[in-house]
Structure 1
Amino acid sequence: MTVNILAIESSCDETSASVISDGKVLNNIIATQSVHEKYGGVVPELASRAHQQHIIPVVHEALSQSGVSKASLSGVAFTRGPGLMGSLLVGGSFAKSFAFALGIPLIEVNHMEAHILAHFIEDPKPTFPFICLTVSGGHTQLVLVRDYMEMEVVGETLDDAVGEAFDKIAKLLGLPYPGGPHLDKLAAEGNPRAFAFPVTSMKGLDFSFSGIKTAVMYFLKERLRDDPDFVKARMADICASVQFTLISMLLIKLKKASTMYRVKQIAIAGGVSANSGLRNTLAEVAEETGWQVFIPRMEYCTDNAAMIAMAGYIKYQYGIFCDLEVSPSAKMKIGKNG
């Protein structure tokens, strides 16, 4: 019997739906929200309202494109968390109602687990065990993946996520929102060793990115005091130096984790895995260390329902369903250190 899953993702500011059939993702429909651009960041209330506007058209498009009828669906998967509570509530409520009306199983998916399981949408796919560096605007984690449903967070940020550091530093530089991609593009034109920024070192495999934001802020204040045109004149070099420092902080811990757990299969996931500097650096390190590096296609790196579909399909195979009383959650459920 064919297993068809409808998946819904609404954790932040992307409303997305996807249909997966027997493990093959048929589509990945995403509606973006431009309303946040003038605020320089996601406004939770506006995000949840936009989800309410987008969710029915997005789900309709996903089902229409896939050729899978509602009657042929085996289950409905949705993002339970972590994420913005209002946004999660819209997607979760829709998914529950849809599953209830059709009398089919409801499957809750952890957003961060889904980013990791996005590696199984297409070939090449990692084999177990592997270490996944999950990097986004809200999370930075090192996860030891022993099996589809057995993941352990072995390191994480103690303050800001690396994606947040990229975006906030980009905002200090006057770059448009979201700033991370703009900073990445400019960094490709600059000298990564033009300016030295501090590399924060934490014990074990944990990260900290709050210090570099403060360092860049004071650096800019000092330089602009002497030369009002400094940022404009040296923008590419500043971006390259910031990116070099942030990537160095990630790689220090990733190398340590690889050695500690004797794992050479390395994956990256989350929105920041689209960063060209990180991708290029990983390719260089892989040649030095013998790592096998796995990076999903660009559309599966940012928030999307295809990764929720894959996670939902895997959980369906395991018979892991939830009841209709489940509520959204902003908390992580992946275990840390056992």
Structure 2
Amino acid sequence: MKENLSVRRAADILMQKDNITLLCHRRPDGDTAGSAFALYYALKDLGKEVRVLCADPLPKQYDYLYGDYSPSRVLDWPVEYVVAVDVATAGMLGGLEEKYGSMVDLCIDHHPSNSDYAALTCLWGEAGACAEPVAAIIKAIGLPLSGKIAECIYTAMATDTGGFRFASTTANCLRLAAEIMESGVDTAAINTRIFESETKAKILAEAKMMSSLQFYANDRIAVMPVTLAMRAETGVTGEELEDVAGIPRKIEGVLLGITIKEHEGECHISLRSKELVNADEIAEIFGGGGHRQAAGITIKGTVEEATRLLVAEAIKHLPKE
């Protein structure tokens, strides 16, 4: 990495800029959305002109974060300073990569696999969520974690740590969560919205997905296909399926869960592992990346082809029995 920018320096730079574009990663989750909008509200409080860009629509379950603001995909905004949040590689910008991939001035991230594509990077590789360095920067700017900013930070941390259950959860995450609770944010309502509210279509889709589970390597690898047919039959939307990747890993004895979402001509794969298997190492072989226990890949081809490739490679990364 060219230089790992300090929180203080990142805050100083943002305070000096007046027109800031915030970029989320494609297929946005709660961390990229929450981190971007926490910065959005903080910078707006300072009188900055700010917009949030995302190549794909934000999941409806997070609409309490942004209200009637619609993350723009319009590219004619005057660009002064570009900040990517929770975006480990330029490729993760999706449809925004062509214009912005080489224009990112500052990347705020927590992925150890960050490709150092931005001019400057503030990387907390041990953080449980990108919201951790974002919260530190907001505090360094001189703003409290309260109101909408706090809701965004909490949402980002809760989603990326699986409700503070995953091994990636840090003590700092828990301290920030406590601080946010003490500020008056209704964290129970956020938890209900994120983790305890699903549509009938999603429940029906999950039933089909779980009934299609395939097991390999003495049941230590579980593959869960999410086909276009399943989506068509149940009416579930793509954004509703963003959080299903953890299902295979829950199964007793499974060390690696592989969720394969079928798209036209390609598959989007989510790897979720237990501590003994490094999901990031497997993902990097196929041009993807992420964290030790959560990583993503895009593979051209069918679900069956992706399954064969992934299982063959994943077996090499399992511990000896």
TM-score (norm 2): 0.30
Query: Which of the two has greater helix per residue?
Result: 1
Q: Which has the higher relative contact order, 1 or 2, with Cα contacts under 8 A spaced 6 or more apart? A: 1
